[in-house]
Every structure is written in structure tokens, then in C-alpha cells.
Chains A and B, each alone.
Chain A
Amino acid sequence: MAENVLPEKGLSLYRKVRNALLGGLTAVAFVLAVTPLLAIIYVAYDRGKAALSLSFLTTLPGGFPVGIEGGIANGIVGSLILILIASLLSVPVGVWAGLYLWDQSHTPLAKATRLLSDLLLGVPSVIWGVVGFYVFSTNTGYGFHWGFSGLAAGLTLGFIMIPIVTRVTEQALRDVPRSYIEGALALGASRFQVVRGLAIPAAITGIGTGILLGVLNVLGQTAPLIFTNYYNTGIPKNLVGSNGSVGDLAMQIFIYIHEPSKGLHVKAMAAALVLTMIVLLLDMGIRLLAWGSRKYAQRMG
């Protein structure tokens, strides 16, 4: 531990006051920043603890009103399915687009792509939902007639995710110092080798964060689901067609809270706690993965 080399009494009054003020402000900012997370966990736990148990995670909703008995297995499975579909679409497309924007940053096509992608970031999710409805779900729409289904919702969510992943991937690559890239090029590396072996590993934490941001966004969406999937109290066998809807945690919370039933409100808050925990776990998982792949890249060529 370092000794405090400046004796307190040697400081002028002005500096003492200033230090105290700044220290106080920092403390306030810290408290304001962490309080919401603690508040969420506390409220969700306090209101939902009566419903919490292991079987809450593993059983389907039952009883009347539906959900008063049983758990949220439908929501957990459904949310994971939606994340998976959305990621399968958006991660390859978004990472590729981010790479392209970084590599070709000054070409007119890249500038246009960046502009459009940024515009998409600002499109309200309810609009994504309605367009997803017309394109993927309804029989009277444009091409796909998948009904209210996991596939329609997963793809809609995937399209919401693409601009997020794209933007963050490009930024993460931009943060890789140019001198670093030049060092490899000067050794006779091809652009592809530089991208694969150096740029992506150096940017992997940022790219992982981008994917995570996209996934978290998807986990919290309800508006697009209302139009493309709605909800399912069971676990579907298909992801398209009239029985293709999946459960979803956010929708489940939304629906339960709207029911005039104290019991369902408790279940909703228990589900909220589970959703928050899934988010925190995913966050940590991504960080671990990024860390691991960086270690790996350090050893490999």
C-alpha cells in the first residue's frame, strides 16, 4: 500500500474543499449507477420469492388462470430458441458487415451501408414487429406465411440485432491500432491473415460485447413478439405454422402482470428475477469466452 505522501494539514483550504466535493460527487455517481441493478434484484426477489423454486424453472404453466400453477419452462425454452434463431441470422451477417465497413470504410457502398444501418438502429421495435408480421406471419402478407411462430419472431428479432452487431463490430475493429495491423502487413501477411489472426482477436472482446448487447435487446423485446409470435404456454414441436409459437420470458411477464391475479403477479416477478439472472450469466459467459479466445489467439498464429 502506498503511503499518503501529502500530509492532510499541508493542503490549502480550497484544495481540501475541492477534494471533498469531488470525492462526494464520485460517491453519489457510484451509488446512482449501482442502485438500479440492486433495486431490480431486490424488488423482483421480494415480490417473487414466494413462487421461486427449482420446479418453477422446469415445469410448464398450468391451472386457472393459466400459470397460477407450474413454472416458466415454456418461457425459458422459448427465449433461448428466439436468441438462437436471432443470433444465427445476425451474428454472421452483422460481424461480416462490420468487417466490411471497417475494411472498405471509405467506399461509397460502405458509407451508404453505414448510414442505412444506423437508421435501422433507430427504428422503433413496434414497427419491426408490424413489418415482421406482414412479411413472415400473415397469410395475406408478402411471401412467407409462417403464422405466429418462433421462426417469424426469431428472424424479426435477428433483423433488429443486425445493425447493433454491425455497429459494435466496426467500432471494435477501429479501436485496433493501425500500427498493429501494419506490423503484420510488413511481414507479408495478407489482408485476410491480418483480419483473422490479429484484428479479430484484438477486437474480440468488443465484438462479443456487441453480440451480447444484441442478445440482451432481443431478450427484452415484447412489441415485435406481439405481432409475430405472441406466446405459448407449452413447448412447440414446430417453429412454423399454426402451432409454431414459442413461449418467451418477457412476454410471459408482460401477460402475467396484466392479469387481475395476485398469484400471477408473484409469478411475473419471479420470472423477472430469472430473466435478470440469465442476462447476468450471459454477460459473464461472453466475457469469459472473449477472455479465453484472446488467450488462445496469443498462443496460436
Chain B
Amino acid sequence: MEPESPALPVPKIEVKNFSAFYGKTQALHNVDFTIYERKITAMIGPSGCGKSTFLRSLNRMNDFFLDFRVEGSATLDGEEIYGPAVNPVLIRQRVGMVFQKPNPFQKSIFENVAYGLRIQGVKSRSVLSDIVEKSLKAAALWDEVKDRLNGSAFSLSGGQQQRLCIARALAVEPEVILLDEPASALDPISTARIEELMQDLKDRYTIAIVTHNMQQAARVSDRTAFFLDGTLVEVNDTTKIFTNPEDPRTEDYITGRFG
């Protein structure tokens, strides 16, 4: 672990008394939680405990489920994410997301990364080229694809596709990146590359990652949150969570006693 910076961490996303429902089922119960700027926050917990629901609530990806609704407060830089005047499209531009299964578009590698800019109306080829290159470099994929930018994204390996999806998310210059089990479909080497990449990105982005892999949470994150049955049991510095958790349920989970 690198030494903590002495300056106080700045809250980026603050969630207070936050509940989420799919119709009558309540998936999150009164969660209080802060995600700090330029830190990696990991979310762990058994399957179905609400990690994805929580993550997807932060960029309003759950709006597409018709009967989904939330209660309580979630703010991005102090602004309500679910405020009545908020345009969810703008939230999603500021809070990017990478999914469990790599989901590149049926387009060229170049166009995959350029997509987010094109939909914002960027047409200039040179601007696009610059940003595509920058994003692919930031996602540690440039060297592998620079000679075949016009090739299909589907010709890449799974790990490369996932880095392409990260590059695609970076291209629209989000402030926060949400990753929902980004490495669970990848082999160990590709996983290691994604983890390295997260360390590189941390200087510039706020990162929240859901993972089933406790070692991964311990390796990559600064803070870790443990969810159980839709409640946030405990959130703390990662070292503290893994060495000296406050809640016995956290200890049970990380020592593999359930889940």
C-alpha cells in the first residue's frame, strides 16, 4: 500500500439514508456511505446483497427498470443525483461505468472509443484521433491495437475487450468510474493488467469497484465497504477492514465463514 496522502480526503459521492426498491422488493436499506475523490473504493458482499444495485444507482442506470425507485439522498459534488431538474444523461457522462462482461459495440476499435464523443457531437477527425489515442494509452491498450484501429472490436481477447470498454469510458472524461466485477470474466493475467490499470487511473479518477474477490479488494482499494442483505454493514480503510473489522459479520465474511 502506498502511504496515505496527508491532506484530508474530499467527498465525491455522498449517500445518506439511501434505499432502493424494485417494485415491492427493497434491495437497499438506509445506506450511508461516502466515496472519496481519487480513491479506490471496493464493495464486497455475498451474491444478491445489493452491490450492483448500489453501483447502478450512482449513475442512474437503474432508471431503465420501470418499477425501480429510490429514497434518501445521493449527491455528486454536493448535487442531488436524483434531483428533479437533473438530466440523467449528464450524470452518466460524469459517472462512467464498466460492466462485468466486456460489451464492446459491433464497431471498429477506433469507433468504440470514439462513440461517447460522437454522441456528444464531436466530428473533427483530429480531435477524435487524439482522444482515442489518449484513452487507449490510459487504458494500457494502445500498444496492442495501434496498428489495427479499424479492425473489429470483437477480434480482441476478452481482457483486451474489457480494457477497450475502460478506454471507451475514459474517452468522455468522466469524474467517477464505476466498475461492476470488471475482472470476473477474465483470466488471471488479464485481471492483473486491469488491477495495474486501476492504480494508474487512481491519480485522476474516483473509482468504485464491485468485486467478489476479496484478495482483489485488498490489493487494489483504499477503502472497502461490506454489504449484506441490502444493508451496508461496515465501510472503512481497506487495511482496517481486512485486519481488524469492527463488525463480527464482516469478519465472518472475509474469513470465509459464509457467503
Contacting chain A: which of B73-81, B89-97, B233-241? B89-97
Interchain Cβ contacts within 8 Å, total number: 79
Other A-B contacts than A186-B99, A190-B89, 5 sampled, CB-CB below 8 A, are A180-B105, A183-B105, A187-B116, A193-B119, A300-B111
Q: Please report A residues at the B interface, Cβ cutoff 8 Å.
A: 106, 177, 179-180, 182-190, 193, 197-198, 201-202, 294, 297-301
Known: A197-B119, A301-B114, A301-B115. A186 touches B105 (CB 8 A): no
Question: Of A179, A188, A294, which one neighbours B172 at CB under 8 angstroms?
Answer: A188
Question: Of A179, A294, A301, which one neighbours B103 at CB under 8 angstroms?
Answer: A179
Q: Are A202 and B106 in contact (CB under 8 A)?
A: yes
In the complex, how many angstroms separate the beta carbon of A274 from the nearest chain B beta carbon? 37
Q: Are A298 and B61 in contact (CB under 8 A)?
A: no
A-B contact pairs, 11 of them (CB 8 A): A106-B66, A180-B105, A184-B119, A187-B116, A187-B168, A189-B116, A190-B119, A197-B119, A202-B106, A299-B111, A301-B111
Q: Which residue of B lies closest to A177 (CB)?
A: B103
A interface: dominant SS:
helix
**How far does the alpha carbon of A213 sit from the alpha carbon of B101 in the complex, in Å?**
35
B216 at the interface (CB under 8 A from A): no
**How far does the alpha carbon of A180 sit from the alpha carbon of B104 in the complex, in Å?**
7
Residues of A within 8 A of B89 (CB): 188-190
Question: Of A182, A189, A193, which one neighbours B99 at CB under 8 angstroms?
Answer: A182
Q: Are A182 and B103 in contact (CB under 8 A)?
A: yes
Q: Are A188 and B107 in contact (CB under 8 A)?
A: no
**How far does the alpha carbon of A179 sit from the alpha carbon of B172 in the complex, in Å?**
19
Q: Are B105 and A294 in contact (CB under 8 A)?
A: no
**How far does the alpha carbon of A202 sit from the alpha carbon of B111 in the complex, in Å?**
15
Q: Which residue of B lies closest to A194 (CB)?
A: B119
Question: Of B90, B105, B111, which one neighbours A188 at CB under 8 angstroms?
Answer: B90
Residues of B within 8 A of A185 (CB): 61, 64, 92
Complex A-B, nearest 4 residue pairs according to Cβ-Cβ distance, in ascending order: A301-B118, A188-B93, A186-B97, A187-B116
Q: Please report B residues at the A interface, Cβ cutoff 8 Å.
A: 59, 61, 64, 66, 89-90, 92-93, 96-97, 99, 101, 103-108, 111, 114-116, 118-120, 150, 152, 165, 168-169, 172
**How far does the alpha carbon of A301 sit from the alpha carbon of B108 in the complex, in Å?**
10
Q: Are B105 and A184 in contact (CB under 8 A)?
A: yes
**How far does the alpha carbon of A189 sit from the alpha carbon of B115 in the complex, in Å?**
9
Q: Are A201 and B106 in contact (CB under 8 A)?
A: yes
Q: Are A188 and B108 in contact (CB under 8 A)?
A: no
**How far does the alpha carbon of A183 sit from the alpha carbon of B59 in the complex, in Å?**
12
In the complex, how many angstroms separate the beta carbon of A297 from the nearest chain B beta carbon? 7
In the complex, how many angstroms separate the beta carbon of A140 from the nearest chain B beta carbon? 48
Q: Are A183 and B103 in contact (CB under 8 A)?
A: yes
Residues of B within 8 A of A190 (CB): 89, 119
Q: Are A179 and B101 in contact (CB under 8 A)?
A: yes
Known: A180-B105, A301-B114. A186 touches B61 (CB 8 A): yes
Q: Are B99 and A183 in contact (CB under 8 A)?
A: yes
Q: Which residue of A lies closest to B59 (CB)?
A: A186
**How far does the alpha carbon of A301 sit from the alpha carbon of B121 in the complex, in Å?**
10
In the complex, how many angstroms separate the beta carbon of A118 from the nearest chain B beta carbon? 22
**How far does the alpha carbon of A179 sit from the alpha carbon of B56 in the complex, in Å?**
13
Of A185, A193, A301, most B-chain CB atoms within 10 Å: A301
